[in-house]
């Protein structure tokens, strides 16, 4: 009979998957990395097949065949019904006796906390916000883009910058340096040329995310339109955090507000300073901090929370990921 680990932790995003096998003492027995987790694109079973490869490598390296508990923080688990469907698919793989599935934003939240209490706003390609309390209460948003009321994220910022730049060049909008800096990033002379290249596929649509750093650089150089877009993102981040804090009755308590994802982790001075100023005004007891720890740590800690691991066990696991 094969050996069993305490926790199998999975953090699976759209672009990559990280897996960790955790022993009873909180030690990390093995880790592995795999590709993206995209059930909407390939179906649940094929997405699970993609998870199976790094899980198998991690189990083999750890010398185990299963875990007591599977803690999975998964992209595209946006509604409870999706969490239930994915949990059932994980149960069928028999990787652990029990399974808990959460949206991958919870991994970033828990990675930055010493206890499961706080709020996280994550801004990468998209934007999302979650919160939790030790009693199990959570706050969350569907985070499906404009159809669920969202604005922001790297993709949204790039789209907004393109919109203003195109209108500035053809006269429908006011002037902005974005009309020059955006096409220049791709070696093109005008927004007309950039719009044509994007439309005809000469520049792949997926490369639009490259324009987000250009937006921030243009804002840092003082362009009013670019600065207004950055300020709007700060407003959106704080609005989401305020709603989550209010839902969890945490406005009157000193509470961590974690900032994660590639856009916020980059710590652009204008954006981060504006977020901190707005929080200081609207939620004085909120304690903003940027999360840089690997999100899989959050999946590990959520798994250890589930099995009732003590603080020493959790500290040992955290030490593996936080220098």
Give the DSSP per-residue string, 162-173.
HHHHHHHHHTSS
Token look-up 């009873």 returns 24
The DSSP H or E segment spanning 205 is none
Count how many Cα atoms sit within 13 Å of the Cα of residue 138 in the half-sphere of its side chain: 16
What's the pLDDT tens digit per position in 132-180? 999 999 999 999 999 999 999 999 999 999 999 999 999 999 999 999 9
pLDDT of 125: 86
Rounded to the nearest 10°, the torsion over CA 13, 14, 16, 22 is: 20
pTM of the model: 0.88
Q: Are 8 and 96 contacting, i.e. CB atoms less than 8 angstroms apart?
A: yes
Q: Are 273 and 288 contacting, i.e. CB atoms less than 8 angstroms apart?
A: no
Short-list 6, 2, 3, CA closest to 307: 6
The whole-number average pLDDT for the span 10-29 is 94
What's the pLDDT tens digit per position in 28-53? 999 999 999 999 999 999 999 999 99
Q: Is the pLDDT of residue 2 over 60?
A: no
* Cα–Cα distance for residue pair 296/260, rounded to 1 Å: 13
pLDDT of 245: 97
Token look-up 């955290």 returns 318
Total H helices, total E strands in the chain:
13, 10
* Cα–Cα distance for residue pair 144/75, rounded to 1 Å: 11
């Amino acid at each position: 009979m094969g050996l069993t680990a305490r926790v199998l932790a999975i953090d699976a995003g759209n672009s990559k998957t990280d897996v960790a096998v955790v022993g009873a003492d909180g030690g990390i027995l093995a880790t592995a990395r795999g590709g993206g987790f995209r059930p909407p694109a390939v179906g649940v079973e094929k997405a699970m097949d993609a998870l199976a490869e790094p899980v198998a490598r991690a189990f083999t390296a750890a010398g185990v065949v299963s875990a007591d508990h599977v803690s999975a923080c998964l992209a595209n688990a946006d509604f409870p019904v999706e969490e239930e469907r994915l949990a059932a698919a994980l149960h069928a793989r028999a990787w652990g006796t029990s399974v808990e599935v959460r949206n991958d934003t919870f991994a970033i939240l828990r990675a930055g906390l010493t206890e499961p209490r706080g709020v996280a706003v994550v801004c990468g390609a998209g934007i999302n916000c979650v919160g939790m309390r030790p009693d199990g209460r959570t706050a969350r948003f569907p985070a499906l883009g404009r159809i669920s009321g969202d604005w922001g994220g790297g993709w949204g910022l790039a789209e907004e910058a393109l919109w203003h730049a195109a209108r500035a060049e053809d006269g429908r909008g006011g002037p902005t340096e974005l009309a020059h800096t955006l096409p220049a990033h791709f070696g093109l002379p005008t927004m007309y040329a950039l719009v044509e290249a994007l439309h005809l596929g000469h520049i792949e649509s997926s490369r639009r995310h490259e324009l987000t750093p250009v937006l921030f650089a243009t804002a840092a150089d003082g362009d009013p339109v670019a600065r207004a877009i950055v300020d709007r993102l700060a407003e959106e981040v704080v609005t989401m955090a305020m709603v989550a804090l209010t839902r969890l009755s945490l406005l009157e308590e000193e509470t961590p507000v974690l900032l994660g994802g590639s856009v916020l982790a980059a710590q652009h001075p204008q954006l981060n300073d504006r977020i901190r100023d707005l929080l200081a005004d609207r939620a004085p007891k909120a304690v903003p901090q940027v999360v840089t720890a690997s999100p899989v740590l959050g999946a590990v800690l959520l798994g250890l929370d589930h099995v009732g691991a003590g603080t020493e066990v959790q500290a040992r696991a955290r030490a593996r990921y936080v220098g």
